[in-house]
């Protein structure tokens, strides 16, 4: 393998990491943008999605099993997220730091719950046959470079979800309400928008997407009770870099973070990549404190 194919391989890795990060961060960014709330149990929604896919794959067999698993993971996590919104998050509006702590507590409970149910050792979801194998470049300067089907599938899934969410926000009635609340909650309320219901839908949608992310993640690594925690800190960084609840911002930020950490790993160790990533984020907010995409309005904002 030549140098070029190593670099291209790492770039591909970066994009595939970015796509999972994007799925994980999308819901966070949506609920942060609309409700100004960070859900620390978001990582556990990933975990729930992963375990749900595992259970579905135990029961259902055949080529469509994983598609079923994706749907169950989405619905299950969305339901759980909706429940969390109704019982906890809703009662803490206007206290973002307290929401952080309360949802962290919920996350701990979910983690320990998973440990009690499934054990501390991870469970595996075997990829369906149509996803095993890989696509290898045979000749040319990139010879030897291989793209596993699973990772290509995850990238495709991410693009699909991103597209669907974009259409949902731009073209549907609910999307319109969502944008209204996002731009100005008080005015939207004054126009008769039921902001509480919009919040519920946004939150459930976000956690549902996290469930999808967990399901996708289950294809490439075992599902453990702490699988969410290992991804969620990076997802938070993506939200910080991306800006308040903007799809484009979040997508760009996920790409930036994913490719940056993969690229840095070419030169240093994984742990230094973590440190450098944090340094990169802190340097980044020196230039764009509000993230890549800034929501502009005339309200006085405190962050």
Partner 1 sequence: MRIAKGLSYAVLVALLGAAPYFLSSYHLSLLGRFLALSILALGLVLAWGRGGILSLGQGVFFGLGGYVLAMHLKLVALSPGDLPDFMTWSGLDHVPWWWNIFRHAGVAFAAMVIVPTLAAAALAWLVFHRRVGGVYFALITQALALAFATLLISQQPYTGGFNGLTDFSTLLGFELNDPAVQRGLYWATLAVLALSFVFAQWLASTNFGRILQAIRDGENRIRFLGYNPAPFKIVVFAVAAAYAGVAGALFTLHVGVISPAMIGVVASIEMVIWVAIGGRSSLLGAVLGTLLVNFGKDWISSAMPELWLFVMGSLFVGVVMILPQGLSGLHALSRPGKPLLARFRSRATYATPHGHTKKKPSPAPALEAGGAE
> By the criterion CB under 8 A, which residues form the site for partner 1?
32, 36, 38, 88, 91-102, 104-109, 111-113, 115-116, 184-186, 229, 233, 236-237, 239-240, 269-272, 274-275, 277-278, 281-282, 285-286, 289, 297, 299-303
Q: Judged by CB, which is closer to partner 1: 18, or 181? A: 181
Closest approach of partner 1 to the CB of residue 130, in Å? 36
Could you tell me the smallest distance in angstroms from the CB atom of residue 166 to partner 1? 24
Minimum CB distance to partner 1 smaller for 18 or for 188 = 188
Q: How far is the CB of 116 from partner 1 (least distance, A)?
A: 6
Closer CB to partner 1, 157 or 202, in the complex: 202
Q: Which is nearer to partner 1, 132 or 230 (CB)?
A: 230
User: Given 3-state DSSP classes, what are the helix, strand and coil percentages for the chain, each rounded to the nearest 5?
Assistant: 75, 5, 25
Assigned token pair, 23: 């799925």
Full DSSP string of 258-303:
HHHHHHHHHHS-HHHHHHHHHHHHHHHHHH-TT-SS----SS----
CB of 174 to partner 1, least distance (A): 20
> How many Å apart are CA 49 and CA 218, to the nearest integer?
9
**HSE of 66 in the Cβ direction (CA atoms, 13 Å)?**
20
3-state secondary structure of 136: strand
Give the residue with the Cβ less far from partner 1, 61 or 117.
Answer: 117
In the complex with partner 1, the residue whose CB is nearer, 107 or 258, is 107
Q: What is the nearest approach in angstroms of partner 1 to the Cβ of residue 48?
A: 15
CA-to-CA separations, 154 to 23, 190, 243, in angstroms, rounded: 10, 41, 24
Report, in Å, the least distance between residue 226 CB and partner 1: 9
- Cβ-proximal residues to 14 (8 Å cutoff; 6+ apart), any chain: 255, 258, 259, 260, 261, 262, 263
Q: Dmax over Cα atoms in the chain, in whole Å?
A: 63
* Smallest separation, CB 209 to partner 1 (Å): 19
Residue 64, token pair as written in the block: 């469509």
Backbone phi, psi, residue 242, to 5°: -70, -35
Nearer to partner 1, 170 or 282 (CB): 282
Cα gap 289→135, rounded to integer Å = 41
């Amino acid at each position: 393998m030549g140098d070029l194919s190593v670099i291209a391989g790492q770039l591909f890795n970066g994009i595939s990491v970015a796509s999972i990060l994007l799925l994980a961060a999308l819901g966070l960014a949506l609920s942060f943008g609309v409700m100004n709330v960070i859900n620390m149990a978001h990582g556990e929604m990933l975990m729930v999605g992963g375990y749900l896919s595992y259970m579905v794959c135990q029961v259902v067999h055949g080529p469509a099993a994983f598609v079923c698993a994706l749907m169950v993971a989405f619905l299950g996590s969305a339901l759980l997220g909706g429940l969390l919104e109704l019982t906890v998050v809703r009662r803490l509006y206007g206290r973002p730091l307290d929401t952080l702590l309360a949802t962290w507590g919920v996350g701990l409970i979910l983690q320990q719950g998973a440990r009690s149910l499934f054990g501390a050792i991870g469970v595996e979801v075997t990829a369906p046959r149509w996803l095993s194998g890989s696509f290898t470049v045979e000749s040319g300067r990139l010879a030897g470079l291989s793209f596993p089907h699973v990772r290509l599938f995850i990238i495709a899934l991410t693009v699909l979800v991103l597209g669907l969410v974009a259409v949902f926000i731009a073209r549907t009635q609910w999307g319109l309400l969502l944008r209204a609340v996002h731009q100005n909650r008080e005015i939207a309320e004054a126009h008769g928008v039921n902001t509480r219901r919009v919040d519920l839908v946004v939150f459930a949608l976000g956690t549902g997407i996290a469930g999808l992310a967990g399901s996708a993640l289950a294809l490439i690594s075992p599902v453990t009770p702490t699988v969410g925690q290992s991804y969620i800190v990076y997802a938070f960084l993506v939200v910080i870099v991306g800006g308040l609840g903007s799809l484009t911002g979040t997508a760009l930020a996920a790409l930036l973070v994913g490719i940056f950490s993969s690229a840095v790993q070419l030169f240093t160790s994984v742990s230094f990549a973590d440190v450098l990533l944090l340094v990169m984020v802190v340097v980044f907010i020196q230039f764009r404190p509000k993230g890549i995409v800034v929501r502009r309005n005339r309200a006085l904002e405190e962050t």
